[in-house]
Structure 1
Amino acid sequence: MTYSIAGFDPKEKEWGIAVQSKFLGVGAVVPWAKAGVGAVATQSYANTAYGPLALAAMENGISAEEALNDLISHDPDREMRQVGLIDAKGNPATYTGSQCYDWAGGITGPHFAAQGNILVDEKTVQAMADSFLNSEGPLAERLLHALHAGQEAGGDSRGQQSAAILVVKEQGGYGGYNDRFVDLRVEDHPEPITELIRIYNLHQLYFAPSKAENIMNIEGEIKTELTQHLKRLNYIKEDAVNDEQLQKAFTAYLHTENFEGREQPEGKLDMEVLAFMRKS
């Protein structure tokens, strides 16, 4: 009742999983990952012990294939399990037990493992594989595109309910205090992948660093528009304000909306923030 893709970005040293299922809160069950170690997707009567056990094995230098063989050899219910793994070097492995409901199966390729069960047919897994192989950009976006491609190809035969993405990177989490680079879930939604992509785009807006080409001086038409938005949003009460008052109001807006990561030196702004203001 689930399909997922585990992937690795050798350049950025990121490991991640994207998953969708006709199941409530799939993100609490399927994805497991640790920076510098690997990623595991455990599903189909999921044995959640597979996550920490496989990560511990791979952290000790065991390959994804070896970790997978060890997992299933000790599980009497292995024929009901499905799992995909990526190890520290990006080597993939996937397994589908003989008692998983049709259609069920998986594909591995360079730096990815895609798998699913109770699918319309094998096209879902093939679409995920093709998308990952033919896409570029951040790992999270490649995984999300692959998940969307899988849904477009048929997806879970019972429909949609929840989706999640987990990407880990050393010191990639908020403030650099953990490795949860991207950790987002949609627990119950009629179109969870579309909603997950929307939330991911918000995540990038709030937490991704500003691009140099988007930093502009607060002057001319930009200054006029910024002032109008701040008045509309009640950060400015006066009919006319000087530069100091405008900067103070803009700073208050940035901090209220959690845009500290997009805050620029005085007299400058990130145009992505202004684009967000237009929609708010």
Structure 2
Amino acid sequence: MTFSIVARHGDAYGVAVASKFLAVGAVVPDARLGVGAVATQSFARFAYREELLARLAAGEGAQEALAAATALDEGRETRQVGVVGTGTAATFTGSECNAWAGGVAREEGDTAYAIQGNILTGPEVVEAMEGAWRESAGRPLAQRLLAALVAGDAAGGDSRGRQSAALYAVEPGSGYDGCGVLADLRVDDHSDPVTELGRLLSEWEMYFGKPEDVQPLDGALADEVRERLARAGFEGGDLATALADWAGNANYEARLTSDGIDRRVLEALRAATA
């Protein structure tokens, strides 16, 4: 009923998942800073999330942790699980999962991933997800997870249709106030949940992402920003203060920097004062 990717990129961990199932994000994904990430699906055993993360935290590798956890579960042949730890990845598909069901797990340099799905249109879904993951090398983890999910959806995804999707990822210092939550997004009931998840991720990164493509606030750019801030009702005094007041009012304060103005903040200011 579900396809997912569990992955590590450097010291970031996360899960992206989609399904013909209401609020899949409430059941499948979990991740913990400095430890790993887990996806439990196909007659999901919710307890796997804490069990596997606890085993990873205790020093077990992904394969070892997954083998031990499934051995204790009498219903394991109906389950599907993906897990990634500090340097390892593993996936499990029980013999009683509904077809098509399967997965792949690999470790490559500073990344590792487990991709799995059940009741899929075919193995091409997993293959497309793995290809998208590799092709997105160099991009941030959340964007790579989304790219894999988009590819799986385009390749056929859940054979029953679409309903929900989710993305949960953690990274030290990321997110609101540096809390470590890189992304925490759910589309619980939607006709095109993966596309909607992509829209939400773009919004999340705007509100909680780190500054990017920063330009110094001097010369013609400083004049433009000052004029646009005045047009928006934020004028007088120090330019940096006026910009901070406007950005704070729009909830863009995470993207403020003393080095100048973030590209996306500048785009938003231009759009707001066009």
Tell me if both proteins adopt one fold, taking TM over 0.5 as the criterion: yes
1:219: Cα distance to partner?
4.8
Residue in structure 1 matched with residue 214 of structure 2 by the alignment: 214
Matches of 2:123 and 2:271, distance apart in 1: 40
Aligned-residue sequence identity (percent) comes to 42
Matches within 5 A, 1:255-274: 255-265=248-258, 268-274=260-266
The answer to whether 1:252 aligns with 2:254 is no
Instruction: Say which is worse superposed, 37-46 or 220-229, in terms of deviation.
Output: 220-229
The answer to whether 1:100 aligns with 2:97 is yes
Matches within 5 A, 1:1-280: 1-10=1-10, 13-89=11-87, 91-110=88-107, 111-136=112-137, 137-177=139-179, 179-211=180-212, 213-217=213-217, 219-220=219-220, 223-224=223-224, 227-228=227-228, 231=231, 233=232, 235=233, 243-244=236-237, 249-265=242-258, 268-280=260-272
Matches of 2:92 and 2:221, distance apart in 1: 58
Structure 1 SS opposite 2:67: helix
1:103: Cα distance to partner?
1.0
1:236-277, Cα deviation, whole Å (9 max, x unpaired)? 6xxxx6x528766543321111111223449x5333212123
Structure 2 SS opposite 1:75: coil
Q: Is the 8 A contact 2:15 2:169 kept in 1?
A: yes
1:203-232, Cα deviation, whole Å (9 max, x unpaired)? 222222223x4323265366346634753x
Amino acid at match of 1:150: G
Q: Is the 8 A contact 1:229 1:278 kept in 2?
A: no
Matches of 2:49 and 2:166, distance apart in 1: 16
Q: Output the aligned Cα RMSD.
A: 2.2
Amino acid at match of 2:214: N
1:97: Cα distance to partner?
1.2
Amino acid at match of 1:57: R
Q: Is the 8 A contact 2:142 2:182 kept in 1?
A: no
Normalising to structure 2: TM-score of the pair?
A: 0.88
Q: Tell me: CA distance 1:215–1:24, structure 2 relative to 1, closer, same or farther (3 Å).
A: same
1:133: Cα distance to partner?
2.3
1:135: Cα distance to partner?
2.2
1:7: Cα distance to partner?
0.8
Amino acid at match of 2:208: F
Instruction: List runs of 5+ in structure 2 lacking aligned partners.
Output: none
1:173: Cα distance to partner?
4.0
Q: Is the 8 A contact 1:2 1:116 kept in 2?
A: yes
Normalising to structure 1: TM-score of the pair?
A: 0.86
1:14-45, Cα deviation, whole Å (9 max, x unpaired)? 11111111112111111111122111100011
Instruction: Say which is worse superposed, 268-277 or 157-166, in terms of deviation.
Output: 268-277
Q: Is the 8 A contact 1:6 1:85 kept in 2?
A: yes
Matches of 2:12 and 2:55, distance apart in 1: 19
Q: Is the 8 A contact 1:80 1:99 kept in 2?
A: yes
1:278: Cα distance to partner?
3.7
Q: Is the 8 A contact 1:216 1:271 kept in 2?
A: no
Instruction: Say which is worse superposed, 139-148 or 188-197, in terms of deviation.
Output: 188-197
Q: Is the 8 A contact 1:214 1:272 kept in 2?
A: no
Matches of 1:92 and 1:175, distance apart in 2: 30
1:74-102, Cα deviation, whole Å (9 max, x unpaired)? 1111111110111121x111111122111
Structure 1 SS opposite 2:185: strand
Instruction: List runs of 5+ in structure 1 lacking aligned partners.
Output: none
Q: Is the 8 A contact 1:230 1:250 kept in 2?
A: no
In the comparison of the two structures, how many residue pairs are matched?
A: 267
Matches of 2:72 and 2:23, distance apart in 1: 27
